[in-house]
Amino acid sequence: DIVLTQSPGTLSLSAGERVTLSCRASQTVVDNYLAWYQQKPGQTPRLLIFDASKRATGIPDRFSGSGSGTDFTLTISRLEPEDFAVYYCQQYYVPPWTFGQGTKVEIK
Amino acid sequence: QVQLVQSGPEVKKSGSSVKVSCKASGGTFGNHAISWLRQAPGQGLEWMGTITPMFGISNYARKFQGGVTITADESRTTVYMEMISLRPEDTAVYYCAREGFHTPYFVSWGQGTLVAVSS
């Protein structure tokens, strides 16, 4: 199984700051088959990014994804109050589809 | 936009089974795969398996093969997930999620169903 390792585990930030979240795969994720999700407490996950860099419908352009191979990044250009949440990456290149353990972005 | 509505919370004893439903409304039902995932309390997401209702073919993560069965009823636009031989460590919120077209990322999600298993 492909193991996804996200870092850091927790980020303490203020609104307006730039955020960079990392997702590293244990083997190459071909064709950039990697997605990012946001999950707020008590809510369902929401798809943000697919194919490593394509924004899902309705996602603000402050969210962007990049990377290839084994190293992927989710960037939030300017944190809004509603962006404090847990973020997960997911690979869909090789079944079973696997998720990282999540990065929590919390208010400083 | 397809909406997914799941059945309500369940409380079960170890060794019993549970069947959770996921009803789709709006959009087309049969040609997009629907997956089941779970999230244990305070933990991350785990993919369990998937079905494409149009074909009725299911695929499972190795961990869940033999213990989970995913089925679909096109006439009811509903997908089911049945899990047998429940253990306390199966306590989790179970989600159904609709995949992208021929691509297994998860575009829309059910609201989740808490399954609590006691010993």
Torsions phi, psi for B97 (to 5 deg) = -150, 135
Output the CA–CA distances (angstroms, integers) from residue B100 to A44, B2, B106, in the order listed: 17, 12, 6
The DSSP code sequence of B17-71 is -EEEEEEEESS--TTS-EEEEEE-TT---EEEEEEETTTTEEEE-GGGTTTEEEE
Per-residue 3-state assignment (H helix, E strand, C coil) for A42-83: CCCCEEEEECCCEECCCCCCCEEEEEEEEEEEEEECCCCHHH
Instruction: Give residue-wise pLDDT tens across range A56-78.
Output: 999 999 999 999 999 999 999 99
Residue B16 DSSP SS3: coil
Residue identified by tokens 């096109």 is: B74
Residues of B with CB under 8 A from a CB of A: 35, 44-47, 59, 61-63, 95, 100, 103-107, 109-112
Residue identified by tokens 């353990």 is: A101
Q: What is the pLDDT of residue B32?
A: 87
Question: Tens digit of pLDDT per residue, chain B (119 long)?
Answer: 789 999 999 999 999 999 999 999 987 777 789 999 999 999 999 999 999 988 889 999 999 999 999 999 988 999 999 999 999 999 999 999 999 988 999 999 999 999 999 99
Q: What's the number of CA atoms in the CB half-sphere (13 Å) around residue A21? A: 37
CA distance to partner chain A, nearest, from residue B77 (Å) = 21
In angstroms, rounded to a whole number, what is the distance separating the alpha carbons of residues B94 and B66? Answer: 18
Torsions phi, psi for A77 (to 5 deg) = -65, -35
Expressed in percent and rounded to 5, the helix, strand and coil fractions of chain B are 10, 55, 35
Cross-chain Cβ contact A99/B63 below 8 Å: no
CA distance to partner chain A, nearest, from residue B112 (Å) = 7
In angstroms, rounded to a whole number, what is the distance separating the alpha carbons of residues A105 and A9? Answer: 9
Residues of chain A with pLDDT under 50: none
Residue B75 DSSP SS3: helix
